[in-house]
Structure 1
Amino acid sequence: MFPAKTEISCRSCQLAAGEWRPRQQLVLLKLKTDTPDSLLQATGSRGEVTGDSGSPSVGGWEQWEQPESGEPDDGRKAAAPSSRRRRSTSGFSFNDALGKLAKLGSTLSRGKVHKLEFPDGGPASARPASTDAHLKRRGRRSSGGSSKGAESGAPRAELRWNKEERRASSPRQEELKLTSSTFALTGDSAHNQAMVHWSGQNSSVILMLTKLYDFNLGSVTESSLWRSTDYGTTYEKLNEKVGVKTILSYLYVSPNNKRKIMLLTDPEVENSLLISTDEGATYQKYRLNFYILSLLFHPEQEDWILAYSHDQKLYSSVEFGRRWQLVHTTGIPSVEYSTSITFTNMDFHSALYVTCKLQNCTEANKGKPFPGYIDPNSLVVQGEYVFVQVSTGGRPIYYVSSRRDLFTPMKLPKYTLPKDLHVISTDENRVVAAVQEWNQNDTYNLYVSEAGGVYYTLALENVMSSMGPEGNVMIDLYEVAGIKGMFLANKKMEEQVKTYITYNKGRDWRLLQAPSSDLQGNSIHCILPYCSLHLHLHVSANPYTSGNIASKDSAPGIIVASGSVGAELTTSNVSMFITSDAGNTWRQIFDEEYSVLYLDQGGALVAIRHTPLPIRHLWLSFDEGRVWNKYSFTSSPLFVDGVLGEPGEETLIMTIFGHVSHRSEWQLVKIDFRSIFNRRCTEVDYQTWHLHNQGEPCLMGVKRIYRKLKPIARCVMGKTYSVSVMSEPCDCTESDFECDYGYERRTDGRCTPAFWFQPSSMSRSCTTGHTFLNSTGYRKVVSDNCTAGVVDLYTARRLPCPSQAPKGLHLVTSEGKLTALLSHNVTFLVFLEQGDGSRTSITVDFGDGNAITYSNVSSIEDGIKHIYKNVGIYRVSATAENNLGSETAVLFLHVTCQLEYIHLSAPFVAVKNKEVNLTAVLWPSQVGTVTYIWWFGNNSEPVITLEGSVAFTFPREGINIVTVQVAAGNTILQDRKTIAVHEYFRSHLLAFSSNLDDHNPDVSEWRLDVSRVIKNSMVQATGVSPEQLLVTVLPGLPTAAEFFLLPDKEVTEGKPEKITTHLDQLLELVLAALNQNQVQFTLRPGVQITVYAAHLSAAPLVDTSENHSSSAMLMLLSVVVVGLAVFLIYKFKRKIPGLHLYAAMQDEKEQEMIRSPVSPTESTPSCSSQRQLLTSPEPLDTEVNTQPIGAYVISDCMFQSVS
């Protein structure tokens, strides 16, 4: 197993509320293991660490996974408070696969917190997220999550003892003492974090890194490195060997060679790695050119490491960090047991499942086992199984690959409709999944699969769940160590939570029988099913905290847990209980909570009380918890922060970490338990124990007989002891079989088909000439070893595959979407549920005139690729056909191109209570399926159309804002215009001296500025009030503009006849000024611009003398031109806005608009005077919250309004 690693925080330190400790994340990647137990071991050669479990359990059990390949030669394992765990699903959730991220930095805490961590030598990089928790004192918790028991109950905590400690310290009372020594880390009193590594493997070396973490700066500002070579009796400070000014932030240990140590410096000061190959005696420094966020060690190759950087890049090293190579620019890594690595290549919306060889991870060598995109952060690699999630239509679809074979959709009962799914376990070729169904909130249903991980049946309903501190879901399910197939679960029934136990992997469950008597020997009257024992199944992810329940592989049948007796599980009146016969009978051992550790492979138990006060005693039991003796381990009371046990199962040396007060340095108390044992165990000290379930000896198809230490034996088993199990197969009975997929267990115990299930559908993968298993409604429990008996009655029968017509044909895109981009590859996937796939042809019609036919289904497993050359909605069909029939599946694919610009074409001024035509002009004009969302004024509800034009009537005068949003594919663009609404007004077009066109860049900002200058010039020349004049410059060349005159309501008194007269007078005044060239402005020095009226107006009186005959001739010619213009207007039925009076009673004055412009590649009307709406790539007036303008097109020398 691997060296110790966790963290401990000082319980004696006062915690200031409101202070936040920044986090850093470390990627934890799943490793393939040889044995399921490696997934469950809480500590291994990391050592044993325990302490106050008053802090909530955090992290997840799977984050302590360790490969069997890393176990030391001597076979020793740490005495873990719990080798199994409450099932936390962080890291196995499809919704939160990044829960596998372990934390490199510190976590949320308050004030000065002494934290002790132990570097992981296991596969999971530096340390899992579970180790980010810190010990907190028992008592009332503050709002920040810290406990203030010591603060409120013991202001001078270092001088305040509890009654138990005062009694034990009486000089008149003789007490039992343990052999111990104390060492103080002098000079590190300010350091509030520490990391510890104990190699084990017959090594006496312990490394400790202490550091001062500044919460305000979010970084480490001081550090010290300590090393012991005598099992922790004394320590040497190594700061000079690593560099006096070097600040160390983290300690790593190779899982395969614990002599190889890696120290990471604080990147804020120096970005380097210090590497040691002699258990920390000497170091070499190597510079880094990237910031490490997480490290992952290979489970077999001791020098192979993956590094994940802060900028989401993946690096690899095959020289233990001396040199690094960039593997991938973006990816969340997940490592398998072989030499290949697995990761997801992510963008914002989707991800690809990618694999490659570590030593040759090039683009050409990267594999993509899943033929499409998956949801980000949904990849889970666990043992022989790989899981991914693909969301389609808002509903997730889960896929599984067993033994790296093809991906297959996971088959849950048809109407499960999961909201959330977590993979709990993949032990022994079976998947256990927790599924939150559509009608559940705080509970999950447990489902179990067959060996392939595809077909799932219900194991237990309404298992309680809670949210962990890291945001991970915690399932109240606990797998008991040392007993195969044994689980404990807390089930919610009618608002009550009860504890259930199973001995056959969830096939059958029952309540726990309560103890017959309490701690004082009083009888407990508790009758099933109304009263039973209920246990808290919280398992601390930090190995230094025992959590609420503990069991151990080397001590089968012994379970220690906290809980209560009654009708339901409660959080009050919690006591400690123990069973030594695998849950058949229970005994109460303490009437309050304790941390319980296993010594000498379970031959002895150590209990440390949960208390916010300093202690100097612990309790020992040598008879499976029947009798407990109190021992003192130090002469002065100590605030215990945690306990580190010697790596290996023997565990006879422990180090207790603590503080005399919150101002003191670390105190390390080494305890040697070897002195309390007087001899080694011999064969006469062992006995046989028959595993049973309430008298039934056949469990999982066998009778199991264990070799255990006698309760009366007080001897050391030592590292040579191994658990011995003898087994004898049993005849199969109905209890060895569970309901098959699609079947449900009735109240009488029989399995019958669910209403939605058709048993014949199970032969859908059959091909003619082959056979299939015809289910009887039952399947043997995975790993059940029963033989004979009723096996023939319940086992599926092998039958020849029937010839059948194709049925259940599915056609989807690889991304699960119904949209595709123009000129991009689209991959179609075709699935056939029933029919002879080898003899069924598939024809795919892409809907664009192209089709392709395949001779059989197997030839299209990788998907069918196609490229569309035009936008539109295509009817894509797939037809499966054989000699017995055919079936067709259809999908409608929306092919779109990227929408680049949008322009809202709208009039500058509109008439009250008259319809106004508004048009959204797109660029490019053809983008596929488009939705238009229109917002008018202050209306809270939009108008949604599929057309780019809409008519709207403004009922009130004033300024109105119109916004249009255009949704095309994944793109949404918008434009906004301001429209002035009036009941009466006059308007006229303006022209300019030709030199203005040379300075017109044809952008909206320029037009707005020039409009303002023109208005100011007209106001100065005419004296018209600025409030009565509006001017807008029109887009395009030659430059044109339009002005609008508004009535003065105070002068006209709102009377129509006065308004008409008033507007006519104003118009005459303005036109006269324009005709006399009185309106001019300076564009820039030397550039003078003259503004003209675009059309002839009434002429002034002309002298008829002969001296003015030329003027008369000009007037005559003007009349002829006007007559010709009138004729052309009548002929082409065009309207000239400049010659009209706009008023509410003039119904014939309707707005006109032009069509959306065609794309640049399409031809345009050949009219020399036509003004193009879009003359440059820039959209017209696309700015939001800017004053809009009208747009005009000159055609046949006449004006036509388009906005």
Structure 2
Amino acid sequence: GDGTGVSICINHHHIHPTLCKLSQNCLSSLISTDYGKSFHDISHRINHTFIREEFGVSVGPGSSVILTADTPVVDNPGGIIFTSMDAGATFKFIQLPFHLAQPVTYHFFNPDYLVALSIDVSHSNIISMTTDLEGVTVVFFDTDERGDLVLKRTKDLGETFTTIHEDIYSFGYIGAFLFFSVMEEPRSPRVMYFSSDQGDTFSRALLPSASTEQFYSILDGDEDMLFMHVDNPGDTFFGTMYTSDDRGILFSKSLERHLFDGQRKSDFTNITSLRGVYLTNKLDLDGRIRSVISFNRGGTWKQLNKPDNVDCGEQVKSVRWCNLHIHGEHSRNNRIVPMLALSEPTAIGLVIAHGTVGDSLSSSQHPDVFVSSDGGYNWRGTLRGPHHYSILDSGGLIVAVEAQREGQVKTIKFSTDEGQCWKSYNFTEQPFFFAGLACEPGTKAMNVSVWGFRPEEDGQPMWVAVTIDFQSLITRECNDQDYEQWLAHSAEGGTSERKGCVLGVKETYRRLKRQSVCRNGRNFVVSKKQSSCLCTREDYLCDYGYYRHVNTSDCVRQPSAANKSLEMCLNGEEDELLTAGYRKVPSDRCEGGYNPQLAVQTVIRPCGVKPSPGPPDKSTSSVTHFDTLVIIVLVAVVSAVISVRRVVYSNS
């Protein structure tokens, strides 16, 4: 948790839990309250219980922690969790009537309530929610007689349920949207349904259907819109990316040939340090992978600029074909790079990533570290070779450790000017094999822990954690003279009126000057000034049934859409879309200026799927009512023959 200084370490020896329980000398649960500078054993607080290696630790909001235990006791009916509300200082023991199949998650409205998934065969035909488990409420999901997946909804903490839809293939939520995919007919392609009103109504999305050899993947989402990938048929490793309207119904094509590898991994990245910026890779017709970036939430995409301090190389025939290409999840899975692109909301404009310079992304070329200070418009080469890196002090400090495949590490590199200059610091006299770089979430701390292991004479590794506190190196607190006013999205020029206008807004930030060597401190808060821009044609998309004409850039009706009334639902109900062909880009806040002629507000009559009417399904357990809190939980009936891998939130 941000500001707690607490680290919890679970030591795992690969010994059967029963033997480990009997000896107790192979169990150790450790805690640090000083950012990893010292640890002490807390195994006695959890009765020396063997904590699971897989999803054994869950960290919630504030100072809440859950430890999930393996239970070797034969007569134990279920699993065990230990809950702490004070960052591990004390724990409460809770015996569960089932075994967990996935990590415990915290309810997003009230962290006192937990949601858990179980597919124990012994609990078939049961959907229940129990209370009085030391103040913790647990929801669990089990199978019905048919083995189908049924989506249900409760507003009263499990006392009653209403069925939303049967024969569900997958479901989940992201941002402000709930969604599920369904086969409406046996062996038919899947279609997507979305809800933007917490499940009161679901409407079918205007997206291509996905056959059994294809998939949907929701890449990102917030309260305004969604990014959706629809896979191409066959083993093509690419598909089409779409962006939605603010209801998750109308989707516009954003990027074709979007890369998605055989492991269903995407390189799509939200650059959180600057509004509206997204980065991904595409598979071009020539079979090469190239990086593209969008500064307006997927409205347009372009290749990344070549860094000024890096040459193209002799293999590139023309500078026109020389760009920076960023390694993503595809490269990390193939162990080409150790880390993905890194950005933080508190470090305005800062992006750190591995990449190569050339006509495409190269797996044979040595990946280097590149840094952008303006959200991805301009880049510079900063470190040779792959590294592990982290952002501290709200962007005022960057740290990096060189990735060694075989060798041991003892040196950390750090920069106070966004990667232009680096200094080295030997943090240990005895090098060790690197395992991880850990820092407190929120990027406000100035402590970082490097951890790994040294081989001992008996063959067992001795784990080591070294914490570096940069407050002893950077001692001066920043003052007003150390900051400057910076206009975001101003790197590409344009007229003075439009300079910096993205999604209808100009944003001017107060941020640290690059040459200032001082610390922002934990009390640093990102401050910005916003002003609206006049609308232009770039602030509008072509609505459903329209496309942008090549010669005029006007939105014209597609030949298949002969009338203004367009059927949008295929389940017997109809939606009417009244439009002149334009709709404003989601989250765009421009005012005045360009206004599409004859534009009519889009009117949608609710259609699609509503929770089933009539008597609700009763759960098997009673639940205490809360008059002041309305909680919505989606639950599902999961077949025992359906693996847990099928119920996922990202790939649908």
TM-score (norm 1): 0.44
Is it true that 1:604 corresponds to 2:604 in the alignment?
no
Cα distance per residue 1:1003-1043 (max 9 Å; x no partner) = xxxxxxxxxxxxxxxxxxxxxxxxxxxxxxxxxxxxxxxxx
| Counterpart selection for 1:298 from 84, 107, 125 | 107
> How far apart are residue 326 of structure 1 and its match?
8.1
The change in CA–CA distance for 1:272 and 1:737 in structure 2 (over 3 A counts) is closer
CA distance in 2: counterparts of 1:642 and 1:702, whole angstroms: 39
Cross-structure match for 1:517: 309
Q: Which amino acid aligns with 1:258?
A: S
CA distance in 1: counterparts of 2:70 and 2:306, whole angstroms: 53
CA distance in 1: counterparts of 2:21 and 2:359, whole angstroms: 50
Larger mean CA deviation between 771-780 and 588-597 belongs to: 771-780
Cross-structure match for 2:14: 213
CA distance in 2: counterparts of 1:738 and 1:304, whole angstroms: 41
Tell me if the contact between 1:526 and 1:532 (Cα under 8 Å) persists in the aligned partners. Answer: no
The change in CA–CA distance for 1:678 and 1:747 in structure 2 (over 3 A counts) is same
Cross-structure match for 1:718: 521
Cross-structure match for 2:647: none
Tell me if the contact between 2:482 and 2:516 (Cα under 8 Å) persists in the aligned partners. Answer: yes
Cross-structure match for 1:367: 162
| Counterpart selection for 2:69 from 264, 283, 293 | 264
Cross-structure match for 1:322: 134
> How far apart are residue 255 of structure 1 and its match?
1.8
Among the aligned pairs, what percent are the same residue?
Answer: 25
Q: Which amino acid aligns with 1:255?
A: G
The change in CA–CA distance for 1:496 and 1:754 in structure 2 (over 3 A counts) is farther
CA distance in 2: counterparts of 1:209 and 1:439, whole angstroms: 43
Cross-structure match for 1:72: none
> How far apart are residue 614 of structure 1 and its match?
0.5
Cα distance per residue 1:961-1002 (max 9 Å; x no partner) = xxxxxxxxxxxxxxxxxxxxxxxxxxxxxxxxxxxxxxxxxx
SS of residue in 2 equivalent to 1:636: coil
CA distance in 1: counterparts of 2:67 and 2:428, whole angstroms: 34
Is it true that 1:694 corresponds to 2:518 in the alignment?
no
The change in CA–CA distance for 1:457 and 1:216 in structure 2 (over 3 A counts) is same
> How far apart are residue 379 of structure 1 and its match?
1.8
Cα distance per residue 1:793-814 (max 9 Å; x no partner) = 3x72259x9xxxxxxxxxxxxx
Tell me if the contact between 1:293 and 1:309 (Cα under 8 Å) persists in the aligned partners. Answer: yes
> How far apart are residue 275 of structure 1 and its match?
4.5
Cα distance per residue 1:267-292 (max 9 Å; x no partner) = 45765444555543444544444333
Is it true that 1:356 corresponds to 2:154 in the alignment?
yes
TM-score (norm 2): 0.79
CA distance in 2: counterparts of 1:584 and 1:653, whole angstroms: 30
Is it true that 1:384 corresponds to 2:176 in the alignment?
yes
SS of residue in 2 equivalent to 1:738: strand
Report which of the two structures shows the higher radius of gyration computed on alpha carbons: 1
The change in CA–CA distance for 1:315 and 1:220 in structure 2 (over 3 A counts) is farther
Gaps of 5+ in 2: 495-499, 570-574, 615-652
> How far apart are residue 717 of structure 1 and its match?
0.2
Tell me if the contact between 1:773 and 1:798 (Cα under 8 Å) persists in the aligned partners. Answer: no
Is it true that 1:664 corresponds to 2:461 in the alignment?
yes
The 5 Å alignment of 1:882-961 reads none
Cross-structure match for 1:731: 534
Cross-structure match for 1:94: none
Tell me if the contact between 1:462 and 1:492 (Cα under 8 Å) persists in the aligned partners. Answer: yes
Is it true that 1:492 corresponds to 2:283 in the alignment?
yes
Q: Which amino acid aligns with 2:600?
A: R
The change in CA–CA distance for 1:634 and 1:791 in structure 2 (over 3 A counts) is same
> How far apart are residue 864 of structure 1 and its match?
11
CA distance in 1: counterparts of 2:444 and 2:119, whole angstroms: 40
> How far apart are residue 610 of structure 1 and its match?
0.8
The change in CA–CA distance for 1:527 and 1:555 in structure 2 (over 3 A counts) is farther
The change in CA–CA distance for 1:862 and 1:278 in structure 2 (over 3 A counts) is closer
The 5 Å alignment of 1:959-974 reads none
The change in CA–CA distance for 1:677 and 1:788 in structure 2 (over 3 A counts) is same
Larger mean CA deviation between 434-443 and 714-723 belongs to: 434-443
Q: Normalized per residue, which structure has more helix? A: 1
Tell me if the contact between 2:266 and 2:329 (Cα under 8 Å) persists in the aligned partners. Answer: no
| Counterpart selection for 1:679 from 465, 470, 476 | 476
SS of residue in 1 equivalent to 2:260: strand
Tell me if the contact between 1:557 and 1:580 (Cα under 8 Å) persists in the aligned partners. Answer: yes
The change in CA–CA distance for 1:720 and 1:858 in structure 2 (over 3 A counts) is closer
CA distance in 1: counterparts of 2:557 and 2:550, whole angstroms: 14
Tell me if the contact between 2:67 and 2:83 (Cα under 8 Å) persists in the aligned partners. Answer: yes
The change in CA–CA distance for 1:496 and 1:275 in structure 2 (over 3 A counts) is closer
Q: Which amino acid aligns with 2:368?
A: S
SS of residue in 2 equivalent to 1:248: coil
CA distance in 1: counterparts of 2:470 and 2:101, whole angstroms: 40
SS of residue in 1 equivalent to 2:255: strand
CA distance in 2: counterparts of 1:278 and 1:864, whole angstroms: 43
Tell me if the contact between 1:261 and 1:279 (Cα under 8 Å) persists in the aligned partners. Answer: no
| Counterpart selection for 2:268 from 477, 502, 523 | 477
CA distance in 2: counterparts of 1:302 and 1:414, whole angstroms: 37
SS of residue in 2 equivalent to 1:419: coil
SS of residue in 1 equivalent to 2:436: strand
Larger mean CA deviation between 258-267 and 697-706 belongs to: 258-267
Q: Which amino acid aligns with 2:481?
A: V
CA distance in 2: counterparts of 1:598 and 1:289, whole angstroms: 42
The change in CA–CA distance for 1:455 and 1:529 in structure 2 (over 3 A counts) is farther
The change in CA–CA distance for 1:218 and 1:700 in structure 2 (over 3 A counts) is farther
SS of residue in 2 equivalent to 1:549: coil
> How far apart are residue 537 of structure 1 and its match?
2.4
SS of residue in 1 equivalent to 2:566: helix
The 5 Å alignment of 1:82-121 reads none
The change in CA–CA distance for 1:322 and 1:254 in structure 2 (over 3 A counts) is farther
Q: Which amino acid aligns with 2:361?
A: L
The change in CA–CA distance for 1:220 and 1:859 in structure 2 (over 3 A counts) is closer
The 5 Å alignment of 1:1151-1190 reads none
Cross-structure match for 1:595: 388
Cross-structure match for 1:924: none
Tell me if the contact between 1:257 and 1:302 (Cα under 8 Å) persists in the aligned partners. Answer: no
> How far apart are residue 687 of structure 1 and its match?
0.9
Cross-structure match for 2:635: none
Is it true that 1:757 corresponds to 2:558 in the alignment?
no
Cross-structure match for 2:644: none
Tell me if the contact between 1:536 and 1:548 (Cα under 8 Å) persists in the aligned partners. Answer: yes
> How far apart are residue 483 of structure 1 and its match?
1.6
Is it true that 1:626 corresponds to 2:626 in the alignment?
no
Gaps of 5+ in 1: 4-44, 46-200, 332-344, 766-770, 802-832, 838-856, 866-1203
> How far apart are residue 586 of structure 1 and its match?
1.4
CA distance in 2: counterparts of 1:300 and 1:859, whole angstroms: 27
| Counterpart selection for 1:636 from 407, 430, 435 | 430
Tell me if the contact between 2:580 and 2:600 (Cα under 8 Å) persists in the aligned partners. Answer: yes
CA distance in 2: counterparts of 1:862 and 1:714, whole angstroms: 58
> How far apart are residue 710 of structure 1 and its match?
0.5
Q: Which amino acid aligns with 2:134?
A: R
Cα distance per residue 1:627-660 (max 9 Å; x no partner) = 1111111111121111221344312112221112
CA distance in 2: counterparts of 1:486 and 1:758, whole angstroms: 36
CA distance in 2: counterparts of 1:505 and 1:220, whole angstroms: 53
The change in CA–CA distance for 1:607 and 1:330 in structure 2 (over 3 A counts) is same
Q: Which amino acid aligns with 1:322?
A: E
Q: Which amino acid aligns with 2:9?
A: M
CA distance in 2: counterparts of 1:329 and 1:417, whole angstroms: 25
> How far apart are residue 733 of structure 1 and its match?
1.3
CA distance in 1: counterparts of 2:507 and 2:84, whole angstroms: 47
SS of residue in 2 equivalent to 1:212: coil
Tell me if the contact between 2:238 and 2:259 (Cα under 8 Å) persists in the aligned partners. Answer: yes
Cross-structure match for 1:235: 39
Is it true that 1:434 corresponds to 2:229 in the alignment?
yes
